[in-house]
Amino acid sequence: MANGHGGKREGGGRPPGALAKKTRAVAEAAAKAGITPLEVILEAMNEARSAGDLSAAAGFAKDAAPYMHPRLANVESNIKADVGVQIVTLPKDEAL
């Protein structure tokens, strides 16, 4: 811009992966309490399973899965192959 204001500036903004103050405060409070959301979900899953409620346990397991098993990325492939075919006819009396 002509007046030097606005727009993207080199080195400006929050670094990639940096946590906001509020996010950091919440994470630190959970760490001090000694319990994480995953631990709560797993505890509820185990209690439901012990009680014989497999449907509820499966629901908790589904909620916990993203914490433990990241999704695989979709990969699109665009493969082009030039395949040449050659047909050879052998005389009837000649065997392979």
pLDDT of residue 61: 92
Say if 58 falls within a structural domain. Answer: yes
Domain containing 67: what range? 36-75
Count how many domains the chain has: 1
pLDDT tens track for 55-70: 999 999 998 888 888 7
Return d(Cα 59, Cα 41) in angstroms, integer.
Answer: 10
Asked if 40 and 11 count as a contact pair (C-beta separation under 8 A), the reply is no
Say if 56 falls within a structural domain. Answer: yes
Instruction: Select from 59, 63, 15 the least CA-distant residue to 37.
Output: 63
pLDDT of residue 3: 58
Say if 47 falls within a structural domain. Answer: yes
Say if 63 falls within a structural domain. Answer: yes
pLDDT of residue 59: 92
pLDDT tens track for 12-22: 777 776 667 77
Q: Does the pTM exceed 0.85?
A: no
